[in-house]
Amino acid sequence: MWQKILRDPQAATTLSILAVVFVLGALAPLIAPHGPNDADLGMVNAPVGTPGYPLGADESGRDILSRLLHSVNTAAVSALIGTSVAVAVGVTAGLVGGYFNRVTQSLTEWLFALLMTLPGVLLLVILMPVTGGDYRATMFIFGFLLAPGIYRIVRNLVLAVKNELYVDAARVSGLGTFRILGRHVLSIVRGPIIIAAAFMAGTAIVTQSGLAFLGVGSLEIPSFGAMISSGFRNLYIAPTQFLWPSLLLGVITASLVLLGNALRDTLEGSKPKPVKVGSGQRVVATTHVPDDEAPEALLTIRDLGIAYPGVSGELNEVVRGVNLSIAQGEVLGLVGESGSGKSQTAFSTLGVLPPEAVITSGSIRFQDREMLGLNDQQLAGVRGREIAYIPQEPMSNLDPSFRVGAQLVEGVRAATGTSKADARERVLALLDRCGISDPERTYDSYPHEISGGMAQRVLIAGAVASRPKLLIADEPTTALDVTVQAEILDLLRDLLEELDMAVLLVTHNFGLVADICDRVAVMKTGEIVEVGDTESIFAAPRHEYTRMLLDSILDEDTVRTDPPTTVEGATS
Amino acid sequence: MIPYIVRRLAAGAGLALVITLIVYLLIGTSFEDVARTILGQSATPEATAALLEARGWDRPILVQYVEWLAAALQGDFGASVYTSLPVLPEVLSRLAVTLSLIVPALLITATLSIVLGVWAASRGGVVDRIAQGVSVFGYIIPGLLLAIGLVVLFGVQLGWLPATGYTRFGDDPAGWARSITIPVIVLVVGGVANMSAQVRGRMVDELRRDYVRTLRTRGVSSRSIVLKHALRNAGSPALTVMSLEFINMFGAALIIENVFALPGFGNYAFNATLQGDIPVMLGISTFGVVLVTVVNLATDIANGWLNPKARVH
């Protein structure tokens, strides 16, 4: 870990600056020309460059350089005490609060929520009678005020690993679960704590300086705050007196903040970077397809390649040379294991690949129009209106903050431009058509107030609202209970007959394929290995992988092999 | 809703009770020092004892506390032991000064942070780097140094703004605005550094959620996705950050009030603590807790409005 940190230029630079400053501070008793409180009345406000007083002397005739060096020590001790207390308290409380029963949990949670809402500096001032103004005691208390940050990190981690560890821990006799948990958590939480410590050290130093500036504590203790205060009083007589401590304090805190940022980048990896919303998918190369090829198809995908950048920027292809076509009203099943690239193919057709994804080759033509390279605005007339989408996870695909009806109405209006009243009527009719018994009530519900099956009906209603020509359904039943799956399947089958839509059905459920698909394409590790009529694929699969997938349905029927992804936002 | 608010306020009152009791127990032992400070260094032990008896400070601390509490519940918070000025009007007028500083600072901070955070998260690239640069800049400059630097530049060198002092809004609105300009800038720089980074982070997360993808496939405009859907969902954590920022500013105002010689709440608390002025400290603790409780309650109610799942019934 340390090697990684030292290789980062920002971390290395700030660490070196801090090392130099703090080593000089530690050597202060040896290298400082004077004691921090040695006052020479003959030297009051001595200017910069006075022999023996390289940076001059302050209003009491004390050597500024010596006081600076000693102040570094005060800052270091403040940072050390504040940070250690915060880490010790935060880690302990995090382990206890995450591990023990619900009462302990909510009690620690309440305590730390309270700690966070205390106005720090004000509290430290009011507690002066307790600390006696000693900056070490003050920083000790301040450590408690800093602790909630660490507590949160540790507690969340404990809650996350607690249950899986229970199983293992039960098997290990001799060692208590709490100890195992502690060790395990501490090994993971080290990185985040080091990062937090850098920021906390900065906060502790700034707070101590602020208090010393106000005059809290002993005047004997040399500190940046006391020096800045004295310099501030002397601003008109000797402006440089104010400059030196400010400069050094600024350098130290800036180094700590920049170090913290650098540590965060190197230890936690780069966070997702924002991109311009609606700018469309990244396309590095496309394949030109002459107009006379497959003109009768509604959707034609040719030689599609999709890649994601790896750690060092190289592109890893997840979809390679995919060719697909769907005729008007045709239902095509796209089957394959998780990670075979079928969802990526579906997303690229909709123009909603994640921002990191890169299209490396190919062409996607819908109704004779090239779709690759279009941005959201250019796709506005197509998406929602001509091509629609049914997602896999019903809950995470509804905006939790808006009523169901309002979300659907917005989609209908965006696609068709009808009036609000018209859109409302249409949505209500569709909810009714999609088997929702009380459409008015669902219309006025928030997503968390309806069941998963209902939510999926809502999403289907949203997808077919504008009678699209092509429906892209990404595992529309997998996240649901088995009984609900059958109902949703019935609904889909009815809607297909009624609306005469073409469908790209992404699934790994061969039961579903046999039920509603005209043709099947089988995908494996990013490539299409077999395409054919549903009947012939079931009767005589040519590719070994297809045979394997077909065999597996006998064992597992409709049960998923991979765990469903968690519903994002459900707990927040 | 109403029972919920009552319950929260009651919890706040309970907290105020506990904190004032702690304050009383902590400082109640120093009445002798206070008496000697009032009488001066040359006071005889007899004179000190007489004063203690006259003020009732020689009785058990708990008895004194209960008495204070009984009076406080009727709105009588006593008077400063040094100036004899009643505590309640003084606390309220000091609080008004500090709030007249914090409230504008917080509103500006929130506005700038939302604009900057949303802009960075929905544009990316150069805009994002600029926003992050602004945030880092605000972080690395200690507020104390910024405050003094701005006083020196605008107050002393350029003479554009008063370097220190406070003008009441009621006396002269323009003068008030001028007197709080530099302090507000200092609070805003620190606040924006923190809050814009939070808003940006939440927006980046929200814009990657599944529902955003689904809305895009329905042809919903980018404008609506960013400003209506993602911002509303990012709003509730941002609001929590804002309430913490308020309390943070409430604490930071202490140093700012000192630099700019503003007669604020922090300044009042500081002087009272230095002198051990018990009635004033109790009044300050009570109103500090009340303020924090009200801010947290308001945050939770506003959160419920933004986030239907957190709504209280």
Q: Residue A219 sits in a domain of what CATH number?
A: 1.10.3720.10
d(CA B234, CA A398): 15
**Per-residue pLDDT averaged across A143-152, rounded?**
89
Which residues fall within 8 angstroms of residue A537, CB to CB, at 6 or more apart? A520, A522, A530, A546
Whole-number pLDDT of residue A522: 92
Output the CA angle A209-B178-B85, nearest 5 degrees.
70
What DSSP line would sit under A464-483, residue for residue? Answer: HTT--SEEEEESTTTTS-HH
Is residue A74 within 8 Å of residue A61, measured between CB atoms? no
Residue A169: pLDDT band (50, 70, 90) is: low
Please give the pLDDT value at position A295: 59
Q: How confident is the model at residue A205 (pLDDT cuts 50, 70, 90)?
A: very high
Weakest mean pLDDT among A69-83, A258-272, B75-89, B203-217? A258-272
B249/B102 Cα distance (integer angstroms): 7
Are A213 and B147 in contact, with CB atoms under 8 Å apart?
A: no
Nearest by CB to B218, which of A118, A277, A414?
A414
Q: What pLDDT score does A568 carry?
A: 43
Instruction: Tell me the mean pLDDT in the region A408-435.
Output: 90
Query: Residue A271 and residue B201: Cβ atoms within 8 Å?
Result: yes
Q: Which residues contact B123 (CB under 8 A, 6 or more apart)?
A: A274, A276, A277
Residues A355, B121 contacting (CB under 8 angstroms):
no
- Whether the per-residue pLDDT at A380 is higher than 50: the answer is yes
Tell me the chain B residues in contact with residue A347 when contact means C-beta distances shorter than 8 Å: 213
Which pLDDT score is estimated for A562? 52
pLDDT > 70? residue B124: yes
Residue A169 lies inside a defined structural domain of this protein:
yes
Please determine, for residue A161, whether its predicted confidence score (pLDDT) is greater than 80: no
Nearest by CB to residue A399, choosing from B211, B216, B248, is: B211
Over residues A376-391, the mean pLDDT reads 89
Lowest mean pLDDT among A121-130, A143-152, A525-534, B193-202: A121-130
Higher pLDDT, B40 or A351: A351
B134 and B37 in a single domain? The answer is no
Angle between helix axes B173-206 and B231-260 (nearest 10 degrees) is 140
Look up the domain containing B9 and give its range: 2-72
- How remote is the C-alpha of B138 from its chain's centroid? 19
Beta bridge partner(s), residue A62: A39
Lowest mean pLDDT across A111-120, A173-182, A472-481, B111-120 = A173-182
Residue B297, in any domain of the structure: no
Same domain, B7 and B60: yes
Q: Does A57 touch chain B (CB under 8 A)?
A: no
Using a CB-CB cut-off of 8 Å, the residues of chain B touching A123 are 251
Supply the pTM of this predicted model.
Answer: 0.84
Same domain, B235 and B103: yes
Residue B214 to residue A398, Cβ atoms within 8 A: yes
Across the range B71-85, mean pLDDT stands at: 87
Exposed, middle or buried, A164 (CB in 10 Å: 0-12/13-18/19+)?
exposed
d(CA B211, CA B202): 15
Q: Look-up: residue for tokens 């597992």?
A: A556
A447 found inside a domain: no
What are A543-552's pLDDT values in tens digits? 888 888 887 7
Question: Measured between alpha carbons, how far is A338 from A324 in angstroms, rounded to an integer?
Answer: 19
A/B interface, count of CB pairs below 8 Å:
217
State the residue for tokens 């996607």. A364
Above 60 in pLDDT, residue A103? Answer: yes
What does chain A come to in residues? 572
Q: What is the pLDDT of residue B312?
A: 55
**pLDDT of A59 higher than 50:** yes
Contacts of B121 in chain A (CB under 8 A): 274
- What average pLDDT does the segment B229-244 reach? 88
The gap between the terminal CA atoms of chain A, to the nearest Å, is 32
Q: What is the mean pLDDT of residues A263-279?
A: 80
Is residue A60 a part of any domain in this protein? no
Same structural domain for residues B194 and B170? yes
Give the span between the Cα atoms of B298 and B5, in whole angstroms: 9
Chain B residues within 8 A of A388 when measuring between CB atoms: 217-218
Give residue A572's pLDDT band: very low, low, confident or very high (50, 70, 90). very low
Same-domain pairing of B143 and B34: no
3-state secondary structure of A558: coil
Q: Are residues B19 and B100 in the same domain?
A: no
Give the whole-angstrom CA distance, residue B179 versus residue A490. 71
Task: Report residue B185's pLDDT band, with 50, 70 and 90 as the boundaries.
Answer: very high
Q: What is the reported pLDDT for B17?
A: 84
**Interface contact B213-A391, CB threshold 8 A:** yes
- Please tell me which residue, B35 or A80, carries the higher pLDDT value: A80
User: Does A479 fall in a domain?
Assistant: no
Residue B307 pLDDT: 79
pLDDT at B149: 86
Q: Is the pLDDT of residue A569 over 50?
A: no
Mutate to test the interface with A, among B19, B144, B200 (most CBs of A within 10 A): B144
d(CA A430, CA A245) in angstroms, rounded, equals 70
CA A16, CA A86: separation in Å to the nearest integer?
25
Q: Out of B217, B221, B269, whose CB is closest to A389?
A: B217
Question: How does pLDDT run across A297-340, given as a tens digit for each residue?
Answer: 889 999 999 999 887 778 889 999 999 999 988 999 999 888 88
Q: Indicate the number of domains in chain B.
A: 2
Task: For residue A317, give the H/E element and its range.
Answer: strand A315-326
CA–CA separation, B251 and A327 (whole Å): 68
Tokens standing for residue B10:
């009651």
- pLDDT at residue number A235: 78
Among A117, A393, A398, select the one facing B292 at the smallest CB separation.
Answer: A117
DSSP state of B309: G
pLDDT value at residue B260? 85
Position A135 in a domain: yes
pLDDT value at B272 more than 80: yes
At which of B72, B103, B132 does a domain end?
B72
Strands A502-507 and A470-474: parallel
Cβ(A452)–Cβ(A484) below 8 Å: yes
> Is the model's pLDDT at B188 over the cut of 90?
yes
Distance of CA A570 to the CA centre of its chain: 15
User: In this structure, are B20 and B98 located in the same domain?
Assistant: no
Q: Which residues of B touch A407 (CB under 8 A)?
A: 215
Among the residue ranges A35-49, A342-356, A524-538, B194-208, the one predicted with the least confidence is: A35-49
- Say how many domains are in chain A: 1
A17 near B CB under 8 A:
no
pLDDT at A432 over 70: yes
Residue-averaged pLDDT of chain A: 84
* pLDDT confidence of residue B311: 66
pLDDT of residue B54: 80
| Among A319, A69, A95, A79, residue whose Cα is nearest residue A186 | A95
Q: Is residue A299 part of a domain?
A: no
Whether B130 and B221 share a structural domain: yes
Distance in Å, alpha carbon of A496 to nearest chain B alpha carbon: 19
Distance CA A402, CA A448 (A): 10
| A49 vs A383, more confident | A383
Instruction: Tell whether B118 and B49 lie within a shared domain.
Output: no
* Shared-domain flag, residues B19 and B119: no
pLDDT tens figures, A22-51: 998 888 888 878 877 787 777 777 777 777
Strand pairing category for A502-507 and A519-524: unpaired
Does B304 map to a domain? no
Using an 8 Å CB-CB cutoff, list chain A residues near B128: 273-274
pLDDT at B80 over 50: yes
* B152 occurs within a structural domain: yes
Q: Is residue B215 part of a domain?
A: yes
Residue of A nearest to B306 (CA): A401
pLDDT band at A571 (very low <50, low <70, confident <90, very high): very low
Nearest CA in chain A to B117: A274
Instruction: Kindly tell me if the per-residue pLDDT of A83 is higher than 90.
Output: yes
Q: Specify the pLDDT at position B226.
A: 94
- Is residue A46 within 8 Å of A66, Cβ to Cβ? no
Q: Are residues B66 and B100 in the same domain?
A: no
Query: In which domain, by residue range, is A163 found?
Result: 76-267
| pLDDT at A291 > cutoff 90 | no
In a domain? residue A487: no
Hey, are the CB atoms on A254 and B211 less than 8 Å from each other?
A: no
Q: For chain A, what is the largest distance between any 2 Cα atoms, rounded to a whole number of angstroms?
A: 106
Query: What's the pLDDT band for A76 if we cut at 50, 70, 90?
Result: very high
Q: What angle do CA B204, B206, B209 make, to 5 degrees?
A: 115
Unique residue bearing structure tokens 């009462």: A103
Instruction: With respect to residue A403, please indicate whether it lies within any of the assigned structural domains.
Output: no
Q: What is the mean pLDDT of residues A443-467?
A: 90
Q: How far is A257 from chain B (nearest CA, A)?
A: 6
Q: Is residue B122 part of a domain?
A: yes
CATH number of the structural domain spanning residue B164: 1.10.3720.10
Determine the pLDDT at residue B159. Answer: 77
pLDDT category, A389, cuts 50, 70, 90? very high
B169 confidence band (pLDDT: 50, 70, 90): confident
SS3 A368: coil
pLDDT digits over A508-532, tens only?
888 888 888 999 999 998 999 999 9
SS3 content of chain B, % helix, strand, coil (to 5): 80, 0, 20
Give the pair of three-digit tokens for residue A3.
């090697």
% of chain B exceeding 90 in pLDDT: 24
Burial of A363 from C-beta contacts in 10 A (0-12 / 13-18 / 19+):
buried
pLDDT at A237: 80
* Three-class SS of A190-220: HHHHHHHHHHHHHHHHHHHHHHHHHCCCCCC
A29 CA: distance to closest CA in chain B (Å) = 27
Chain B residues in contact with A253 (beta carbon < 8 A): 140, 142
B135 and B254 in a single domain? The answer is yes
Chain A residues touching B250 at Cβ < 8 A: 119, 122
